[in-house]
């Protein structure tokens, strides 16, 4: 079996990491051809050159190329991986600055930034998916594009493709829980449920023993669960749930906003600078030297993750102690490979992904995309039952899902009143006048992709 894999948005900064993961799993995935497509052909070519150097270092003879068109990239693919950033990092930075000016934290997947990203991305993602539907109808469409749950729901609702949405946030949390407990990830089981960037671990077992209470009482361990100082241990103990990191923007929205004001920047604005430096250096380097530069970039980026919003510190910290990101046990590339490996195997793998609920969470509709543990094999993706959500988080999940549904309708119908309604339904925004100001600012800042939100 030889498989073609295509990456939409292949010029993105994380593509070499993905290529490395795919090539490391060649024995299982049997990839013969890997094509990268990006609207910025130069970036795709640059990532292709780095990918070929990765292939050379791993002894892989895969055909790796930058495709001239989306159609050429996806035609006949067994897997299509989509990682879009419509408008580039500059759009993220603009969105986050608009949010900050309206008194809310600037973040690309939650709050106003997430709304703008969704409204900008849904039409493009659907257009791409329909091309895949026509040229590779049997492909598995792996959605990386944020906001991952919302985009996956839109694709599930409006296409007939086989789609699964992925995010590395739950797996990262599971590994950190195992680490603070002094256990291996293989012997640690975390019962998890929610939506993308809105999920909680409800129970932790190590070798079959329930250790949840022990973990919740260990303040030192709770403080080590995240990349930055996100949650008061008392909050976690009182919830009796371990929140995924993006709950910080719900539980500490004002703190996140004030820290951004103190830091004088958002994460997006800092990444604009960092990415500009990366690509300028890559343009001038050989592919071999480029990989050294790229590893340094990833270490710097990873070391600074969520620190600005949580601690108002310097956006970038020393990365000397950061491990080699290519060999990390978790991350963007690992979750993709785990899902794809499951889909070509007879033995099911248990992975947390974004899929239609199908009764997994009793509080949500069957068609609502949720983030839950699934059994993944060649037979497909089967969500596991998790029951009802705890009362302390049920209302928040239902409200955010209502926002997601309305935002998708707004993007599909090109309706600015529905866009404002979505922001009204969204707990982080929740006010009509603020929603109106946000809509007007988004329209003015991005007429190309958000112009339909104007009167």
Mean pLDDT by 10-residue block, N- to C-terminus, for the chain (455 residues)? 93 94 94 96 95 94 95 97 96 97 96 98 98 97 97 97 96 96 95 98 97 96 93 97 97 95 91 92 93 90 82 51 74 91 96 98 98 98 98 98 98 97 98 97 96 85
Taking the C-alpha atoms of residue 99 and residue 104, their distance in angstroms, rounded to an integer, is: 5
* Total count of residues recorded for the chain: 455
Which residue from 107, 47, 111 is spatially nearest to 83, judged by alpha carbons? 47
Match 């339904």 to its residue by tokens: 425
Which residue from 31, 33, 36 is spatially nearest to 69, judged by alpha carbons? 36
Helix axes 332-343, 169-180, angle to 10 degrees: 110
Taking the C-alpha atoms of residue 210 and residue 204, their distance in angstroms, rounded to an integer, is: 6
Kind and range of the H or E run holding 79: strand 79-82
pLDDT, residue 322, reads 62
Taking the C-alpha atoms of residue 430 and residue 407, their distance in angstroms, rounded to an integer, is: 14
DSSP string covering 1-62, please?
--EEEEEETTTSTTHHHHHHHHHHTHHHH-EEEEEEE-SSHHHHHHHHHHHHHHHHHHT---
How far apart, in Å, are the Cα atoms of 430 and each of 104, 322, 402, 424? 11, 39, 12, 4
Which residue from 87, 15, 75, 17 is spatially nearest to 44, judged by alpha carbons? 15
Residues 86, 124 contacting (CB under 8 angstroms): yes
pLDDT, residue 319, reads 39
pLDDT, residue 302, reads 82
- Cα-flanking dihedrals φ and ψ of residue 75, to 5°? -55, 125
Residues 106, 100 contacting (CB under 8 angstroms): yes
pLDDT, residue 332, reads 77
pLDDT, residue 286, reads 94
Q: CA 185, 296, 51, 352: dihedral to nearest 10 degrees?
A: 30
Please compute Rg for the chain using Cα positions: 21
DSSP string covering 396-447, please?
HHHHHHHHHHHHHHHHHHT-HHHHHHHHHHSTTT--HHHHHHHHHHHHHH-H
Q: Model-level pTM?
A: 0.95
Taking the C-alpha atoms of residue 198 and residue 105, their distance in angstroms, rounded to an integer, is: 16
pLDDT, residue 316, reads 40
Taking the C-alpha atoms of residue 270 and residue 308, their distance in angstroms, rounded to an integer, is: 10
Taking the C-alpha atoms of residue 84 and residue 122, their distance in angstroms, rounded to an integer, is: 10
């Amino acid at each position: 079996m030889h498989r073609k894999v295509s990456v939409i948005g292949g010029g993105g900064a994380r593509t070499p990491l993905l290529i490395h993961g795919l090539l490391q799993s060649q024995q299982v995935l049997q990839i013969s051809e890997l094509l990268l497509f990006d609207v910025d052909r130069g970036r795709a070519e640059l990532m292709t050159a780095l990918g070929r150097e990765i292939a050379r270092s791993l002894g892989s003879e895969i055909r790796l190329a930058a495709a001239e068109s989306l159609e050429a990239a996806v035609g006949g693919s067994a897997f299509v991986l989509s990682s879009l950033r419509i408008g580039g990092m500059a759009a993220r930075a603009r969105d986050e600055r608009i949010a900050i000016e309206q008194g809310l934290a600037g973040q690309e997947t939650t709050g106003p930034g997430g709304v703008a990203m969704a409204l900008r991305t849904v039409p493009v993602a659907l257009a791409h998916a329909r091309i895949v539907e026509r040229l590779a109808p049997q492909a598995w469409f792996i959605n990386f594009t944020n906001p991952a749950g919302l985009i996956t729901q839109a694709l599930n609702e409006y296409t007939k493709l086989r789609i699964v949405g992925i995010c590395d946030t739950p797996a990262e949390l599971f590994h950190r829980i195992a680490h603070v407990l002094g256990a291996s990830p293989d012997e640690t089981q975390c019962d998890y449920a929610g939506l993308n960037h809105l999920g909680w671990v409800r129970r932790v077992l190590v070798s079959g023993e329930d250790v949840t209470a022990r973990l919740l009482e260990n303040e030192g361990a709770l403080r080590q669960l995240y990349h930055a100082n996100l949650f008061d241990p008392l909050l976690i103990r009182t919830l009796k749930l371990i929140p995924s990191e993006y709950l910080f923007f719900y539980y500490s929205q004002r703190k996140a906003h004030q820290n951004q004001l103190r830091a004088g920047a958002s994460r997006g604005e800092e990444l604009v600078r960092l990415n500009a430096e990366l690509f300028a250096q890559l343009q001038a380097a050989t592919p071999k030297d480029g990989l050294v530069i790229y590893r340094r970039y990833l270490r710097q980026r990873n070391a600074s993750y969520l620190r600005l919003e949580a601690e108002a510190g310097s956006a970038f910290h020393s990365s000397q102690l950061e491990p080699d990101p290519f060999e990390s046990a978790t991350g963007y590339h690992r979750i993709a490979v785990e899902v794809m490996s499951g889909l070509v195997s007879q033995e099911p793998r248990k992975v947390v992904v974004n899929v239609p609920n199908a009764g997994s969470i009793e509080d949500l509709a069957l068609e609502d995309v949720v983030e839950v543990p699934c059994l993944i094999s060649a037979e497909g993706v089967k969500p596991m039952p998790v029951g009802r959500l705890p009362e302390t988080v049920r209302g928040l999940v239902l409200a955010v899902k209502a926002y997601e549904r309305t935002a998708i309708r707004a993007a599909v119908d090109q309706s600015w009143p529905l866009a404002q309604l979505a922001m009204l339904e969204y707990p982080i925004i929740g006010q009509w006048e603020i929603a109106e100001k946000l809509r007007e600012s988004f329209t003015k800042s991005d007429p190309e992709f958000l112009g339909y939100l104007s009167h």
